[in-house]
Structure 1
């Protein structure tokens, strides 16, 4: 029998078992992005990952568990970076907010990853447990990092007195919309790059909360 030195040509199920959960998540990401959560079956994910239907349950008890693991792996990890950025930039809140805005947008360059918030928005009413998980895992943590920086800017007199939570949402909302718009209508996008969009959105946001000589800032 002639051996094949090209490992990429071997069936996926010949690889080491420890690699299989990542392959399952990669397959799930592709299918969720293509078909949505409800229309994707566990057997579809197993087939895409090169596993039997029974084998996939050795790693993930349900499709909900697959999705939650995927959120943790691809999106939830951002909370660690956001938390670190907020802590490191408390002395310069403007720079910290700009950094997080760019980090957020860059993380969704992969349109498959960008499909995750789209799936949550589209199917939250049908799968409230997934919506609650995403909100707690991603949205609340991202918001907390932004609120910390905004409050630091208010305390330093760099920002006027605003409600930090509302201001945080005012920064993130147009970024999320632009990410979803580019994914939904790629054929109609002929404008600036995402980095340019982020800078424009951040500039509009910052000029909306920045303190001016005519406004009273807290001591």
Structure 2
């Protein structure tokens, strides 16, 4: 196992955000099961007892990692949704470029792979990820799609399935790159994929003005 060197110098007190950042590094590098709280304390440059002042268990620390390192990015998505005023044509390109940018932090794809690989042994991992990330994102998109359908801008169909069609290819790209490596000739460039998929999925979902006139 590769040794993970301390990220911060030792101090009397460590801020919770520093502990969470250290935990994110260690979980991404080692996975959930092999990681010990001692590893995280060492990475943060603190005593294990100091870590316990803030977090009671490894599961609680993982929940904080997801909330701090992953779910916090969804606030940008929700802000973009408000700015777009529910217009999918404005929101989808922004959403996918945000995803491409965030997935550039190799720790986030590594955490997603960890959840997929270890959720059977540790079902709480999947619950935490679902509630804080996947479910939250899909709920936002499903609501926006349903609103766009009500305005006659998006084709009929289950809005939840439409939401999956928007983000699903990025989930596939994430897993592909984690399993086969970014060096595979088939690993997509995420920024290019964001641009192309935004155009493709919007062409499929949106009802064009000419079509609305014919239907009217």
Normalized against structure 1, the TM-score is what?
A: 0.84
Name 2:64's counterpart in structure 1.
Answer: 69
Residue in structure 2 matched with residue 60 of structure 1 by the alignment: 55
User: What do you get for the CA RMSD once the two structures are aligned?
Assistant: 2.6
CA-CA distance at 1:32 after TM superposition:
1.1
User: Where do residues 1-219 of structure 1 align in structure 2 (5 Å cutoff)?
Assistant: 12-14=9-11, 17=13, 19-184=14-179, 185-189=181-185, 193-211=189-207
- Aligned pair in 2 of structure 1 residues 194, 162: CA closer, same or farther (>3 Å)? same
- My pick for the range that moved more, 209-218 or 117-126, is 209-218
Instruction: Give the structure with higher Rg (CA).
Output: 1
Q: Take 2:95 and 2:8, find their aligned partners in 1: how far apart are those partners?
A: 40
How does the TM-score come out when normalised to structure 2? 0.85
Structure 2 segments unaligned to the other structure (5+ residues): 1-6
Q: Give 5+ residue unaligned stretches, structure 1.
A: 1-9
